[in-house]
C-alpha cells in the first residue's frame, strides 16, 4: 500500500485506450454509449458502457431568516415522492443561469446573492457529468410564482437550516446529489466556521 499524496495525484494520466464509440440509446436526458477500451498494461480489454449527460445543478436556497427552501416531487426511479432542493439539468448558457432558472421554475423564488459552492461527479463508474451546487441567499418570491415543466408537480416547503442534519440522518433527505450539496455546505459553513 502506498501513501496518498494529493500534490502528486494526476487523474488524467496513463488513461485506458479508447476505440470508436457506439451510440446505443438516446433519450431527452441521457445517451447510452458503448466504448471498446484497453487498459494501459494491455491485460484488460472489452466493451464498456457509459451514460453521457449534460451537467446538473443544485441550489441551496436560503431565506433571510435562515430557512432552506425544499421541494417535494414524485420520482419515477424510486416510485415515491422525494424531498430535495431545487435542481435539474444545466440547459442554459451557463451553470449559474441554469441554477437561477431551476430555483425560479421549481419554487417561484429568486435571489440576487449567489455563491458557487462546488461540484461532485454524479457516478463516475458509468456517468460523465458533474453536479454543481450554488447557494442562493435572501431568496424572495417572484411575482410569477412557479413555472413548472408539463410533467412536474412540485410542493415547496421551508425548513430551518440548523435542522437539516436531522432529516439527513433520518434519510428523509436521501437524494445523493442533495446529500452531497449539504456536505459541501456544512464543510464550508459548519458550526466551527460560523
Instruction: For 62-99, write each residue's pLDDT tens digit.
Output: 999 999 999 999 999 999 999 999 999 999 999 999 99
CATH dotted code for 56-189:
3.90.79.10
| Rounded Cα distance, 85 and 156, in Å | 9
* 17: pLDDT strictly greater than 80: yes
**Per-residue pLDDT tens over the stretch 120-145:** 998 999 999 999 999 999 999 999 88
Domain borders along the chain are 11-53, 56-189
Q: Is 142 helix (H, G, I), strand (E, B) or coil?
A: coil
Contact present, 107 and 158 (Cβ < 8 Å): no
What the block records as the C-alpha cell of 55 is 451537467
Residues of the chain above pLDDT 90, percent: 90
Q: In the chain, where do the E strands start and end?
A: 17-18, 22-26, 31-38, 45-52, 56-61, 67-75, 80-84, 87-89, 109-110, 113-121, 130-137, 140-141, 154-160
Residue with cell 416547503: 157
| Rounded Cα distance, 62 and 26, in Å | 36
Amino acid at each position: 500500500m502506498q501513501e496518498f499524496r494529493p500534490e502528486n495525484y494526476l487523474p488524467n494520466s496513463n488513461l485506458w485506450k479508447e476505440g470508436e464509440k457506439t451510440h446505443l440509446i438516446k433519450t431527452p436526458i441521457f445517451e447510452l454509449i458503448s466504448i471498446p477500451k484497453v487498459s494501459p498494461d494491455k491485460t484488460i480489454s472489452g466493451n464498456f458502457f457509459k451514460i453521457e449527460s449534460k451537467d446538473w445543478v443544485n441550489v441551496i436556497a436560503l431565506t433571510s431568516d435562515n430557512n432552506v427552501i425544499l421541494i417535494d416531487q414524485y420520482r419515477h426511479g424510486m416510485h415515491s415522492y422525494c424531498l430535495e432542493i431545487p435542481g435539474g439539468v444545466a440547459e442554459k448558457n451557463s451553470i449559474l443561469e441554469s441554477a437561477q432558472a431551476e430555483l425560479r421554475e421549481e419554487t417561484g423564488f429568486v435571489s440576487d446573492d449567489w455563491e458557487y459552492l462546488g461540484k461532485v461527479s454524479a457516478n463516475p463508474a458509468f456517468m460523465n457529468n458533474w453536479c454543481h451546487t450554488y447557494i442562493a441567499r435572501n431568496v424572495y418570491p417572484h411575482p410569477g410564482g412557479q413555472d413548472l415543466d408539463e410533467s412536474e408537480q412540485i410542493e415547496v416547503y421551508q425548513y430551518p437550516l440548523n435542522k437539516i442534519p436531522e432529516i439527513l440522518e433520518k434519510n428523509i433527505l436521501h437524494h445523493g446529489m442533495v446529500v452531497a450539496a449539504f456536505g459541501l455546505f456544512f464543510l464550508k459553513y459548519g458550526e466551527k466556521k460560523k
